[in-house]
Structure 1
Amino acid sequence: MNAERNDQIKVVRADYADPGHAAALVMVLDAYASERAGGSDPLSAFAKANLVRELAARPQAYSVLAFDGTAPVGLVNCIEGFSTFACKPLVNVHDVAVLASHRGRGIAALMLAEAERIALERGAVKMTLEVLSGNSGAVRLYERIGFAGYALDPAMGTAQFMQKWLA
């Protein structure tokens, strides 16, 4: 990470009631969703209009934003869950996005460090995330900062992330 290039980067916990933070969250997430790694489909008008209000209505959700000066350049969305084995909260990192113009500067690592600080503040026992296997840059970052494949018993293999759409 080039510290000189990051001296203008500010990482903050998003305030969903702040219109500037709300706009930044939607803008960065929409940019990510529009890229191949985000599915190549911009956010719907419904998501753009309702996302921040819906996040704010969920006390288990929090977001971290990165700004270059006053320009939003990054976002991490987190949702608290619960580890039944540990009987403690866990935090799922649901979205990690940095605008293409600012990648390679360590911004995602800075935001994830803040997300981890908040997770610890909440008493979380671990953080989880999903990443596409073809997103090698993200995989390298996550491994470098301590994430690893989930396994209880190596003989049973690592967990797979699966989904089922409901209507």
Structure 2
Amino acid sequence: MKIIYLKMVIIVSLSVLIYFIWLCTKPVKIIAVHKDQHWTKVLVKNFPLTSRGKVNWWESNKIMLREKYGIPVSDSNGRFSVSFWDFGDGYEIEQPDKNTFFPSKSTDHLLCFNDMSVEARCIRKENNLMEINTTSENLIKFKANGETYYQDDKGKITKGERFTYTIK
């Protein structure tokens, strides 16, 4: 009896491990890029799970993103903002959330794209995966999973707050 139980535990554990490895190795798929001045929103599927994995993905793919999609787009001061959003179940029509307990007419749960002329042009705001922008000190700030990383002008990426840097 114990051997059967042990075999089942091993099989289930291996299945979970294989699924997790499969999930982590799926390539990121860029569904759409929406630009509004120097703000860019990128809709993706299969984004890395960890905050460090997301930052590493950006570092590995920033040249491809610039060449293929023209991002990031900087303003006259060299500042930019790029956010990555999980495409989830796809675009939705702008309408109140039907999944709330209290009826509401609010559409605050949606992020809608004005560069689209179709009715289904919104995604859910809770699907924000990562934000990248420049700071007043010309550092690149990454925010993902509640963690913050900063990249200095030499390319060094440090986890933590920007005030640990000496401002010249």
Q: Identify whether the pair has TM-score above 0.5, normalized to the shorter chain.
A: no
**Which TM-score tier does this pair reach, normalised by the shorter chain?**
under 0.3
Larger radius of gyration: 2
Larger helix proportion, structure 1 or 2? 1
